[in-house]
Amino acid sequence: MPDTPSTHTNHSQHRRRKRQRQTFGSVINGWWERLFSAVFGGTWDEQPRMYESGRSGRDYLLNTVGSVAWGALFPLLTVVATQLSGAERAGHFTMAFTTATLLLYVGNYGVKTFQVSDLEETESFSSYRAHRFITCFIMLALGFAYCAIRRYDREMWLISAGAYGFRAIDALADTYEARLQQQDKLYLAGVSQAVRSVLGVTFFSLLLLITKSLVVASIGMAVAALASFVLLTAPLTRLETPRPRPAATIEIKELFVECFPSFLALFLFALIENTPKYAMEGVLPYESQVYFSAIFFPAQAMLMMVGFVYRPQLVRLATIWTDPHKRLRFDLIVGAVLAVCGAVTLAGLAFARWVAVPLGTLLYGTSFEPFRNAQYLMIIAGGLSAAIDFLYQIITVLRQQALATRIYLVATVLVIAMSVILVRLYGFDGAVWSYLGVMAALFGALGGQYIFIRMRAQ
């Protein structure tokens, strides 16, 4: 019986799927052969570089995939922990992971942008790597000191250890991924970030499903991150970038000094965002951490969405600012992005009204109707947070970030005082109001700072 056109189509589709499977399999097999040859043959420096640089389309796509996977990590872990362990026990994990994420800023130390933009390699990658090992050690030491101060029990210690370990690998991998980006291979950094995030969620979910133990799941998540670093991130960077010169003590010291202002600003902003959660710990049940995080995630997603709009344009904005005749154009762009923040906030409120509350009920297995008003307030705070992040980047472009850091210091004191008082007076709602209040104050202060800088630059 002769083939019909539909038969030819089916055969063609089958062959195409087979080629795709073979291509994917060949990539995996080729990677293992290359890795084993380099390790056991001692031929690291003889291995040819196989992946091209300057692939802007691929850079954008795979970096976005990696960023989305990384951003979705905490929400997915929280949902899985809640569904499989219940809200109260999941709250313990959420608190541990919140602290781990805050400590991540210590591990990263605000170095990535400095490293990526060091195109002439004033500081050796070996120095960046040595610096990152030191900051990761400090990060872990601070984490375990916090556990001791909080007098956590054995289970909370081990859950925290898993979360801290995962984020420490995250911080360590970040400097390797920055090296790939520096060498114009950002898409490889995106692959590394995506693999680590997916493996973390997968191992955590499977181990929690099988063992019902948050301790085992948390430690397994850290082990998965370590495996992805050892088997993919580190060797990929070694194989695909030039061999760096040895580390120098003076360069490591310079990194601590040069990047301190950036680290302080980023850490303070993260502390401001998370202070309401710490104010709730010990005052409200741990399940409150799950509910707060659940209504916080959409706000964080808004910040990421706005970031996708303006972050690729920061270099262009810096170029525009250097021309005094284009300052009005610069102001219009700033106004346009702030308008985008407003539009995203309105869209977020619509999302909260029609989707977020019922979706939260479905995902977490408990009614989120009592948190509807809190969700609206958190969306508004998220829009302000996105605008704050943008204004800080603009002030950095204008090389006035030291002024912004002072504002963050004042805001930190303000949010600690507000959170402690309002949580004790109004409980969960007090935590939400304190977060909204400090975001509004920060937005006003940074907006005023930008206007002051512009008037002085006339």
Whole-model pTM: value is 0.84
284 strand-pairing partners: 281
* pLDDT grade for 378, boundaries at 50, 70 and 90: very high
Cβ atoms 108, 172 nearer than 8 A: no
Cβ atoms 185, 53 nearer than 8 A: yes
Give 120-134 pLDDT, tens digit per residue.
Answer: 888 999 999 999 999
Q: How far is residue 28's CA from residue 76's CA, in Å, rounded to a whole number? A: 27
- Taking phi over 0 as left and psi of -120 to 50 as alpha, with beta for the rest, 153 belongs to beta
SS3 of residue 142 by DSSP:
helix
What was the pLDDT predicted at 457?
A: 66
Considering only 43-47, 348-352, 384-388, which range has the smallest mean pLDDT? 43-47
Residue 49 has pLDDT above 90, yes or no: no
- In this structure, what token pair is assigned to residue 192? 């590394």
Q: How far is residue 168's CA from residue 206's CA, in Å, rounded to a whole number? A: 22
Q: Taking the domains of the chain in order of start, what are their residue ranges?
A: 1-44, 52-259, 280-458
Q: How far is residue 256's CA from residue 394's CA, in Å, rounded to a whole number? A: 23
SS3 of residue 281 by DSSP:
strand
Estimate the share of the chain in helix, then strand, then coil, as percent rounded to the nearest 5.
85, 0, 15
Question: Measured on CA atoms in the order 298, 299, 305, 311, is the torsion positive or negative?
Answer: negative
Maximum CA extent, the chain: 84
Q: How far is residue 256's CA from residue 254's CA, in Å, rounded to a whole number? A: 5
* pLDDT grade for 186, boundaries at 50, 70 and 90: confident
Give 284-316 pLDDT, tens digit per residue.
Answer: 999 999 999 999 988 888 888 888 777 666 667
Give 435-448 pLDDT, tens digit per residue.
Answer: 999 999 999 999 99
Alpha carbon separation from 234 to 183, 228, 261, 263 (Å, rounded): 15, 9, 28, 24
Residue 428 has pLDDT above 90, yes or no: yes
What was the pLDDT predicted at 325?
A: 76
What was the pLDDT predicted at 2?
A: 47
- In this structure, what token pair is assigned to residue 237? 């960077």
Alpha carbon separation from 172 to 104, 166, 228, 287, 407 (Å, rounded): 10, 10, 12, 31, 29
Report CA 279 to chain centroid distance, whole Å. 23
Q: How far is residue 280's CA from residue 277's CA, in Å, rounded to a whole number? A: 5
Considering only 40-44, 171-175, 183-187, 201-205, which range has the smallest mean pLDDT? 40-44
* pLDDT grade for 9, boundaries at 50, 70 and 90: very low
The one-letter amino acid at 358: P
Q: How far is residue 384's CA from residue 442's CA, in Å, rounded to a whole number? A: 9
Instruction: Tell which wins on pLDDT, 231 or 10.
Output: 231
Cβ atoms 208, 217 nearer than 8 A: yes
Q: Calculate what percentage of the chain has a pLDDT beyond 70.
A: 86
Cβ density class 53-82: b for 16+ within 10 Å, e for less: eebeebbeebbebbbbbbbbbbbbbbbbbb
